[in-house]
Amino acid sequence: MKKSILLVLFIFTIISCKKEETVLKTDSDVTSVSLPNNRLEIYAFHGTRQCETCKNMKLNTKATLDKYFSDKLKSNAIVYQVIDVDDDKNEALAEKFQATGTALMINKVVDGKDNISDWSDFAFDKANEANEFIPELKIKIEEVLE
């Protein structure tokens, strides 16, 4: 009887894992197809527990993008994502950017090739001062887009 129960649980676990893997592959395939070959990716990485500086970094980055780059967001010339590094589904992306906690990372993709920059020092220095962060981030993004 115990063997039967264990066998059923084992089979159920295998089937569940297989279904989840398929969904993840499908999601990544859809994302990669819809993005242009040349784009600017902006990632705000964070852990599950966030301080005010972390929250302000995300808030001010989003405000900058919405105010100055909304057309580029709509066309996917700029892609902005907030990523929880503590969530297992984000492990590969966090590893790619070597993000283990809060970070502001930029990836200028040219002809499908990554060019990653770490803007975390800037973000931590200015995140709590929106009147400094937003115009400086705007300039930094414009320089990368040139």
Model confidence pLDDT, tens digit, residues 106-145: 999 999 899 999 999 999 999 999 999 999 999 999 999 9
Kindly report, residue by residue over 43-66, the tens digit of the pLDDT: 999 988 888 888 999 999 999 999
Kindly report the CATH class assigned to 37-145: alpha beta
Vertex 131: Cα angle to 125 and 132 (nearest 5): 35
Domains of the chain, residue spans: 1-34, 37-145
Q: Measured in Å, how far apart are the chain's first and last C-alpha atoms?
A: 68
Query: What's this model's pTM, rounded to 2 decimal places?
Result: 0.72
- Give, in order, the Cα–Cα distances in Å from 78 to each of 24, 62, 133, 137: 23, 12, 18, 14
CB distance 132 to 126 below 8 Å: yes
